[in-house]
Amino acid sequence: MLASSAPRKLIIATRQSALALWQAEHVRARLRALYPASTVELLGLTTQGDRTLDQPLADIGGKGLFIKELEQAMADGRADVAAHSLKDVPMEVPPGFAVAAIMAREDPRDAFVSPRYRSLAELPDDSSVGTSSLRREAQLRERYPRLRVEPLRGNVNTRLHRLDQGNHAAIILAAAGLKRLGFADRIAAMLDPAESLPAIGQGALALECRADRRDVIAALAPLADDATTLATTAERAFGRALAGDCRTPLAAYAEERDGELWLRALIASRDGRQVLRGERAARCSDAAAARELGEALGAEFIARGASAVLGDTAGAR
């Protein structure tokens, strides 16, 4: 899209947490550079996911609660685009909306944060590890059953504050959020994907708009990153194949290796006693091939008994 044909004004809907505002400001800066004649503004909103912090996210409706108010603002015409962490976007985008662009990925790994210890292996028995993610919880319980995994909600600053108050010996957070907010020095260790497989879409930013806003879709297209889009397309296709939601300890991470897209995935019971892992690689030159890769790995998981693990997960809700 030429700068002269870009919308004269773009309003970005965003949550008001520090990380969400960083993401929205990042998008605004990119759009201003592309379209200097356009006005780009932010619309800060508080979502139900932000307001309800005393219950596990899985029990109150899932990560979709972080985006519903933003979608309503776009439906009402108060905003043109919403900036999301891709891992918060449901596998099926609601009718009438579209993910117009997926931006270049930050570090997708999980980070171990502790003021005293340098690794999970160093933690004494019965140490408290805080996390808000069932995916992380299941992998921690599988590998470190001697540790005590406890829920930890709130924004990044709140979680770090609770750690500093001594509520936990360590916490696990997404490295991307820590780095974006200038907290990279708080990371004691990075967790290799082999130890803690990332969430689907972790580290990537998604730009959502109304499906009928062709002008906005065209304006956002230059912000898309091809490699990140292919990788996360495969990851999300796997998630859809397994009907994964935030109540399912589910992980998938794709990266380029030797000219192929290498997709690793797992599904687990929350207690970590059942963990199903798999991987598959293929040459993927477009989104259709990436979707096929994710769907094929999902079909393989189902053939290997993923439904039994999903059933246990459902029974534990």
Q: Which residues are catalytic?
A: 88
How would you label 32-47 residue by residue, b for 16+ Cβ within 10 Å and e otherwise?
eebbeeeebebbebeb
Q: What is the 3-state secondary structure (H, E, C) of 70-96?
A: HHHHHHCCCCCEEEEEHHHCCCCCCCC
Polymer length in residues for the chain = 317
How far, in Å, are 57, 116, 133, 147, 236 from residue 88 at the CA level?
A: 11, 31, 12, 27, 12
Asked if 263 contacts 252 with a C-beta cutoff of 8 angstroms, the reply is: yes
Coil, strand or helix: which one is 169? coil
In sequence order, what are the beta bridge partners of 131? 151
**Residue where the block lists tokens 């995916």:** 135
Q: Which whole-number Å values give the CA distances from 289 to 195, 266, 267, in the listed order?
A: 28, 21, 23
8 A C-beta contact, residue 111 and residue 190: yes
What are residue 229's phi and psi, to 5 degrees? -65, -45
Whole-number Å distance between alpha carbons of 111 and 181? 14
Tokens describing residue 203: 């580290």
